[in-house]
Structure 1
Amino acid sequence: MFVKKKMAIIALTVIFSLLLTACGQQQQPVATKADDFVLKIGYSGSLCEAPVHMAVEKGYFAEEGLKVELIKLAPGTNFEAITAGKIDASFGLLASLMQPLSNGLPIKVTTGLHTGCDKLLVPKDSGIKTLADLKGKRIGVPSMTSSPIIFAKRALADAGVGVSEKNMQVEFAVFNASDLPIALKNGSVDALAMNDPTAAVAQKEYELITLADSAVTEPYKNQYCCSAYVNDNLAKDRPEIAAKYTRAMQKASAYIQKNQDEVAKIQVEKKWVAGDAAFNAKVLKTYNYVPSVKGAYDAFGITAKQLQQVGMLGSNMDVEALHKNSFIFLKDVQDSVQ
C-alpha cells in the first residue's frame, strides 16, 4: 500500500509539473518585432521618383529605423506587384491611381510628395496656339489610363473641348513613350501628352511648344501629382511601419526642394536614372517638392470629380466615398515637412 501510494504521489507530481510547463509556454508567445520587418518598396527609376532615391542615399529610411528592400519594376507594373503582394509600398502619379482604386486596388495613399510631371506639347510651327485649337486633332498618349491622358482630358475639358464619350472632339492614339516624339514628327499625331523626363527631353530635342504643363499652368501647378502609398494590409496591421515609410519619404522630398542640383547629380552618378544631371536638375526645379498629406487629399478630390465628368470614372461611382477610402491619416505623420 505504501509503495502504491508513493507511486501515485510521484505520478501526480509529474503531471502537475507538465501542466505548469505547458502553461508557461502558453504565456510566452514567440515575439514578433516591428524592427525585424523588411519593407519591400517598388520603384521604376523615373526622375520625379527622387524621394525614393534620396530616402536611401541620405539615410532617411535608416533614420526611421526602417529596414527596406527596393525592388526594381518595369514601368506600369506597380499595381500588379502590390496586388500580388510582391511589394508593400511604392510611389505613383495620383491621377493614375483613381481608376484602379475604383476597381479595388488594395492601397492607401499616405502623403503627397510634389506637383508637376505632365505636359501637353505641339510643334512650334503647327499653328496650334491654345488648347481650344486641338479640336478635331489627334493626340498621342502612352496609354489610355496614364496620367498624361488624364491631365490632357482635364485641361481640354476646362478649355471647353469635349473629351467625353458623348462629346469627343479630339482623338487619342496610343504609342510607346519612346515613339511618341517620332509619331509627332512624321505627322501621325498633332500633339503629345507625356510626362517627365521623356516629355522634357522631347521638348528640348524637337523644339516643342507647351500648351499646358501641370508644373506651371494654373490651377494644376498647385495640385499634387505624385504620392506615396502602401498596401491595405500594411496600413491596417502595421501602421507604425507605414508611418516610418511616409516620414522618410516626406523628409526626402523636403530635401530635394532645397537641393535639386545635388539630387540630380546623385541620381545620375548612382544610376537611379539616366540622362544629363544639369538638364535633369532644371526639370526638378519646375516641381514643388513640399510634401503634404492635405495637398494630396485635396488634389484627389478635385481630380476625381473631373474624371467622373469626362467619363473616366463611372457615373454611378460614389466619388466622395472613393476619396475618403483611398487615404490613411497616420499617427505621428505631419501634414507637411519643409
Structure 2
Amino acid sequence: MKKLILFMLLVLMLLSIAGCGTQDKNTAEGNGPAPENADDKNFVLKVGYSGSLCEAPLHMAIEKGFFAEEGLTVDAVKLAPGTAFESISSGKTDAGFNLLANLVQPLSNGLPVKLTAGLHTGCDKVLVPNNGKIKTIEDLKGKKIGVPSLNSSPIIFAKRVLAAHGIGVTEKNMEVEFVVFSNSELPLALEKGAVDAIAANDPVASIAADQYGLNMLADSAMDAPYKDQYCCTAYVSNKLIAEHPEAAAKYTRAMMKASRWIQANPDETAKLQVEKKYVAGDAEKNAAILKTFKYTPSVQKAYDSFSIVAKELQDIGMLDKNTDINTLQKNSFQFFDDVKDE
C-alpha cells in the first residue's frame, strides 16, 4: 500500500512539472497570455518640444487634458534649438513633433523614429519688401535669401518653391545664394539690404511681415499645392513602439484630439499658449496666425504627403538620388489599429 501511494505521488509530481514546462514554453513563444508589464502603469512619456507656436497640439493636449483622458502621464521636455533628433536618438525623449520636410532626410539616414500622424498644414513663408523690385518667385534668380539655417524647414520650403519655378537650387546648379541669420536678425538683414528676401516660419514670418511691411511671396499655408500638404507631424521612437506600443498609440490619439480642438478653438488656444508661457507674443496676433493653418489631423494624408515631399527633396538634391522613396515611406510610418482618421 505504501509503495502504491509513493508511486501515485511520483506520477502527480511528474505531471505537474510537465505542465509547468508547457506553460513556460507557450508564454515564451507568444502562444499563451503575455505577462503583464508592471512598468506600463508607472510609465512617464517624455515628449520633446521647442516652444514654437505651431506646437499647439502638444500644449493643448496637456492643458485641455487629452493626455490625461488617454490615461497617459507626460513629461514635456524643453529642448535647445536643433537638438530634437539627438534627444530622441539618445533616449532623452520618447516622442516629438516636427516638420515633415525636416524629417525625410534624417529618416533616410536611420533616425530611429516612426511618424504616426499629420497634425496641421502651414508654417513656412518667403518674404520680400512691399516696395521692392521683387514681385514674383522668378525675380529671386541670382538674389540672396536669408534663412535661419541650412537644414531648416524654411530653406527646404524655399528650395521647393524656387525649383517649381525653374530656378536652380542644386549643388551643381545653384542660382540663388542662401545666407544664414538668426530668426531675430532675419527681418533686420532684409531691411538693411544684406539679403533680398527671407525664408522663415511662423510666428517669426508673420510678425516680421507686420512690423517691417513685408510681402508674402510664397506661403505654405495659403499657396497650392503646399496648403494641402502636412507641415508638422507627430512621431515616436522605435524603442517606445517596441517596449510601450500602447503608450505610443495613446500619444498619437491625444495629439490628434488636441489638433481637432485647436481647429475649433484657435483664440482660446493662443490665449492659453501665452498665459502658460509655452510661447511669447500677443495672443490675438498669434490666434490670427493659427487660423491660417489647418489643424485637421490625419494619418493617411500625412503618409501621402511624405512621398510628394520626398520626391521633391530628391529632385533638388536634399535626398540621395538612390533612395527608394516607396520603401522609405513605408518604413517611416507606424499605423495603429486603434488610431483612426475622423
The total of aligned residue pairs comes to: 319
- Map 1:27-66 onto structure 2 (within 5 A): 31-66=37-72
Shift of 1:56: 0.4
- Normalised to the residue count of structure 1, the TM-score between the two structures is 0.90
Choose from 99, 106, 110 the match for 1:93: 99
Partner of 1:202: 208
Q: Which runs of 4+ in 1 moved over 3 A?
A: 26-31
Structure 1 residues 90 and 31 mapped into 2: Cα distance closer, same or farther (>3 Å)?
closer
SS of structure 1 residue aligned to 2:234: strand
Shift of 1:35: 2.3
- Normalised to the residue count of structure 2, the TM-score between the two structures is 0.89
The residue type equivalent to 2:317 in the other structure is G
Partner of 1:257: 263
The RMSD of aligned alpha carbons is: 2.1
Q: Output the CA distance in 1 between the equivalents of 2:325 and 2:298.
A: 21
Partner of 1:5: none
- Residues 35 and 67 in structure 1, CA contact (< 8 A), matched pair in contact too: no
Q: Output the CA distance in 1 between the equivalents of 2:251 and 2:183.
A: 30
The residue type equivalent to 1:42 in the other structure is G
Q: Deviations over 1:280-329 (max 9, x none)?
A: 00000000001011121111110000000000011111222111111111
Structure 1 residues 126 and 242 mapped into 2: Cα distance closer, same or farther (>3 Å)?
same
- Residues 35 and 66 in structure 1, CA contact (< 8 A), matched pair in contact too: no
Partner of 1:82: 88
**2:296 is the counterpart of 1:290:** yes
**2:332 is the counterpart of 1:320:** no
Q: Output the CA distance in 2 between the equivalents of 1:167 and 1:73.
A: 36
The residue type equivalent to 1:292 in the other structure is S
Shift of 1:32: 1.9
Structure 2 unmatched ranges of 5 or more: 1-5, 7-12, 28-33
Q: Output the CA distance in 2 between the equivalents of 1:54 and 1:94.
A: 20
**2:269 is the counterpart of 1:279:** no
The residue type equivalent to 1:206 in the other structure is Y
**2:171 is the counterpart of 1:165:** yes
- Residues 35 and 65 in structure 1, CA contact (< 8 A), matched pair in contact too: no
Q: Output the CA distance in 1 between the equivalents of 2:282 and 2:311.
A: 38
Choose from 252, 276, 283 the match for 1:270: 276
Shift of 1:132: 0.5
Shift of 1:164: 1.1
Partner of 1:189: 195
Partner of 2:10: none
- Residues 108 and 229 in structure 1, CA contact (< 8 A), matched pair in contact too: yes
Q: Deviations over 1:155-195 (max 9, x none)?
A: 11111111112221111111111111111111111000100
- Residues 116 and 224 in structure 1, CA contact (< 8 A), matched pair in contact too: yes
SS of structure 2 residue aligned to 1:224: coil
Q: Deviations over 1:31-59 (max 9, x none)?
A: 52422211100111100000000000100
Partner of 2:143: 137
SS of structure 1 residue aligned to 2:178: strand
Q: Output the CA distance in 1 between the equivalents of 2:64 and 2:41.
A: 20
Q: Deviations over 1:201-232 (max 9, x none)?
A: 11111110011000001110010000000001
Partner of 2:336: 330
Indicate the percent of aligned positions where both proteins have the same amino acid. 63
Partner of 1:211: 217
Q: Output the CA distance in 2 between the equivalents of 1:202 and 1:46.
A: 16
Q: Output the CA distance in 1 between the equivalents of 2:198 and 2:222.
A: 17
Partner of 2:73: 67
**2:181 is the counterpart of 1:175:** yes
Q: Output the CA distance in 1 between the equivalents of 2:35 and 2:284.
A: 55
Q: Output the CA distance in 2 between the equivalents of 1:236 and 1:112.
A: 21
The residue type equivalent to 2:313 in the other structure is L
Choose from 223, 233, 237 the match for 2:239: 233
Which piece of structure 1 moves more, 129-138 or 34-43?
A: 34-43
**2:323 is the counterpart of 1:311:** no
Q: Output the CA distance in 1 between the equivalents of 2:99 and 2:210.
A: 23
SS of structure 1 residue aligned to 2:38: coil
Partner of 1:106: 112
SS of structure 2 residue aligned to 1:74: coil
